[in-house]
Structure 1
Amino acid sequence: MAVTAAMVKELRQSTGAGMMDCKNALQENDGNIDAAIDWLRKKGLSKAAKKSSRVAAEGLVAVSVAGTDSAIIEMNSETDFVGRNEQFQDLVRDVASIALKSDGTVADILAANSSVSGKSVEATITDAVATIGENMTLRRAAKLSVSQGVVASYVHNSVAPNLGKIGVLVGMESSGDAEKLAALGKQIAMHIAASSPLALGPDDLDPSVVERERNVLIEQAKASGKPDGVVEKMVEGRIRKFYEEVTLLKQTFVIDPDVTVEGALERLAKEIGVDVKLSSFVLFKVGEGVEKEESDFAAEVAAAVKG
Structure 2
Amino acid sequence: MISAQLVKELRERTGAGMMDCKRALQETGGDIEKAIDELRTKGLAKAAKKAGRVASEGIVVSYIHGPGRIGVLVEVNCETDFVAKTDDFKQLAHDIAMQVAASNPEYVSREEVAEEILNHEREILRAQALEEGKPEKVVEKMVEGRLEKFFKERCLMEQPFIKDPDKSVQELVHENVARIGENISIRRFARFEVGEGIEKDTEDFAAEVMAQLK
TM-score per shorter chain, which class?
0.5 to 0.7
Say yes or no: does 1:264 pair with 2:172.
yes
Alignment-derived partner of residue 303 in structure 1: none
Structure 2 residue runs of 5 or longer lacking an equivalent are 1-54, 208-214
Alignment-derived partner of residue 149 in structure 1: 58
- Residue by residue over 1:125-181, the C-alpha shift from the partner in whole angstroms, topping out at 9 and shown as x without a partner, is xxxxxxxxxxxxxxxxxxxxx9411112101133xxxxx221111111112353211
Question: Compared with structure 1, are the counterparts of its residues 173 and 297 closer, same or farther at alpha carbon in structure 2 (3 Å cutoff)?
Answer: closer
Matched residue type, 1:168: V
Say yes or no: does 1:186 pair with 2:90.
no
Alignment-derived partner of residue 218 in structure 1: 126
Distance 2:134 2:114 in 1: 29
Distance 1:272 1:172 in 2: 14
- What TM-score does the superposition give when structure 2 sets the normalisation length? 0.63
Distance 2:205 2:192 in 1: 28
Structure 1 consecutive aligned stretches of length 4 or more whose deviation exceeds 3 Å: 206-209, 296-299
- Give the CA deviation at 1:262: 0.7
Say yes or no: does 1:275 pair with 2:183.
yes
Q: Do the aligned residues in 2 keep the contact of 1:202 with 1:247 (CA within 8 Å)?
A: yes
Distance 2:206 2:95 in 1: 42
Question: Compared with structure 1, are the counterparts of its residues 298 and 218 closer, same or farther at alpha carbon in structure 2 (3 Å cutoff)?
Answer: closer
Distance 1:238 1:276 in 2: 29
Question: Compared with structure 1, are the counterparts of its residues 290 and 208 closer, same or farther at alpha carbon in structure 2 (3 Å cutoff)?
Answer: farther
Structure 1 residue runs of 5 or longer lacking an equivalent are 1-145, 159-163, 300-307
Equivalences for residues 193-272 of structure 1 within 5 A: 193-272=101-180
Matched residue type, 1:279: R
Question: Compared with structure 1, are the counterparts of its residues 206 and 165 closer, same or farther at alpha carbon in structure 2 (3 Å cutoff)?
Answer: farther
- Give the CA deviation at 1:207: 4.0
Matched residue type, 1:258: D
Question: Compared with structure 1, are the counterparts of its residues 277 and 239 closer, same or farther at alpha carbon in structure 2 (3 Å cutoff)?
Answer: same
Distance 1:209 1:292 in 2: 29
Alignment-derived partner of residue 65 in structure 1: none
Alignment-derived partner of residue 28 in structure 1: none
Question: Compared with structure 1, are the counterparts of its residues 238 and 296 closer, same or farther at alpha carbon in structure 2 (3 Å cutoff)?
Answer: closer
Distance 1:296 1:258 in 2: 42
SS at match of 1:295: helix
Which of the pair has the greater relative contact order for Cα pairs under 8 Å at 6+ separation?
Answer: 2
Count, aligned residues: 149
Say yes or no: does 1:292 pair with 2:200.
yes
Alignment-derived partner of residue 75 in structure 2: 171
Alignment-derived partner of residue 24 in structure 2: none
Question: Compared with structure 1, are the counterparts of its residues 292 and 172 closer, same or farther at alpha carbon in structure 2 (3 Å cutoff)?
Answer: same
- Residue by residue over 1:197-230, the C-alpha shift from the partner in whole angstroms, topping out at 9 and shown as x without a partner, is 0111112124444333222211111123333231
Alignment-derived partner of residue 110 in structure 1: none
Alignment-derived partner of residue 46 in structure 2: none
- What TM-score does the superposition give when structure 1 sets the normalisation length? 0.45
Distance 1:172 1:298 in 2: 42
Quick check: which one's helix share is greater?
2
Matched residue type, 1:229: K
Q: Do the aligned residues in 1 keep the contact of 2:106 with 2:156 (CA within 8 Å)?
A: yes
Alignment-derived partner of residue 304 in structure 1: none
Q: Do the aligned residues in 2 keep the contact of 1:222 with 1:231 (CA within 8 Å)?
A: yes
Q: Do the aligned residues in 1 keep the contact of 2:61 with 2:73 (CA within 8 Å)?
A: yes
Alignment-derived partner of residue 20 in structure 1: none
SS at match of 1:185: helix
Alignment-derived partner of residue 124 in structure 1: none
Q: Do the aligned residues in 2 keep the contact of 1:177 with 1:272 (CA within 8 Å)?
A: no
- Between the two proteins, what is the percent identity of the paired residues? 41
